[in-house]
């Protein structure tokens, strides 16, 4: 692809990203009381694991997934319920929550006592990325660039919801957002980056996706 066309494609991607509001996500898992009506933005943050799992299971076939910075492992649990071989990678060991909200059925679902999900209780090491088919980063603190690098090195896909730039090896230049910076970085690694949204009842998450097999030549 010529430089002009590449520049135009990058500008279009950046334009799409600018139009997308960047969600600011809390660190805690979905455990707040949901008895009161929720505004769309609150619902988005509160049920981000369910929304992300729903999108993944709709768009991608079951595969080996690394849930990087996965916390208590609810995303991994939901994916495994759909036939995925998902594993949490997080240096802080936490047990699964005892329940979660099924946002489609609008009811609480109990997780059986003693249920475990596969975990690697250490900081993400890009050297192990080859064990997986896709790397997932939902609020993957300090690991976004590593996820892109590891995906490129192992020719696998990634799906990111970029958060803060703390502990990242690069920092956006003035006038360029963090999401734009990550997009440009992934494009330079040969990925075709696809912004997308995953939401329910007008509540949306905004992500960057480079699925397996979409690296350019």
Residue 217 has pLDDT above 60, yes or no: no
Mean pLDDT of the chain: 79
Q: pLDDT tens for residues 175-203? A: 898 888 999 999 999 998 887 765 543 33
Whether pLDDT at 6 is above 80: no
Check residue 40 and give its pLDDT. Answer: 45
Q: What is the end-to-end Cα distance of the chain in Å, rounded?
A: 9
Q: Which residue has the tokens 């898992």?
A: 29
Which of 19 and 21 is assigned the larger pLDDT? Answer: 19
Examine the pLDDT at 171 and tell me if it is beyond 70. Answer: yes
Token code pair at residue 131: 């064990």
Q: Tokens 């006038």 identify what position?
A: 175
Beta carbons of 82 and 62 less than 8 angstroms apart: yes
Radius of gyration of the chain (CA): 17
Whether residue 27 is predicted with pLDDT greater than 60 in this model: the reply is no
Q: Which of 141, 124, 140 is nearest to 132 (CA)?
A: 124
pLDDT digits 0-9 by tens, 64-91: 999 999 999 999 999 999 999 999 999 9
Please give the structure tokens belonging to residue 73.
């492992």
pLDDT digits (tens, 9 = 90+) for 110-147: 999 999 999 999 999 999 999 999 999 988 889 999 99
**Residue 20 scores a pLDDT above 50:** no
């Amino acid at each position: 692809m010529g430089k002009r066309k590449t520049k135009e494609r990058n500008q279009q991607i950046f334009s799409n990203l600018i139009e997308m509001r960047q969600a600011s996500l809390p660190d805690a898992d979905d455990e707040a009381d949901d008895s009161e009506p929720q505004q769309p933005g609150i619902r988005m943050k509160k049920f981000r694991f369910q929304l992300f799992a729903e999108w993944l299971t709709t768009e991608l076939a079951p595969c080996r997934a690394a849930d990087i910075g996965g916390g208590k492992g609810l995303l991994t649990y939901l994916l495994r319920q759909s036939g995925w071989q998902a594993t949490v990678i997080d240096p802080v060991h936490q047990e699964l929550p005892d329940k979660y909200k099924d946002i489609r059925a609008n009811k609480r679902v109990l997780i059986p006592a003693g249920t475990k999900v596969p975990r690697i209780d250490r900081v993400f090491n890009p050297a192990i990325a080859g064990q997986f088919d896709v790397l997932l980063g939902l609020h993957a603190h300090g690991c976004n660039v590593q996820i892109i690098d590891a995906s490129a090195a192992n020719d696998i896909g990634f799906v990111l919801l970029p958060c803060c730039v703390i502990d990242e090896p690069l920092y956006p230049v003035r006038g360029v957002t963090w999401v734009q910076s990550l997009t440009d970085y992934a494009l330079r690694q040969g990925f075709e980056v696809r912004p997308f949204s995953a939401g329910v009842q007008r509540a949306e998450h905004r992500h960057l996706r480079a699925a397996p097999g979409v690296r350019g030549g």
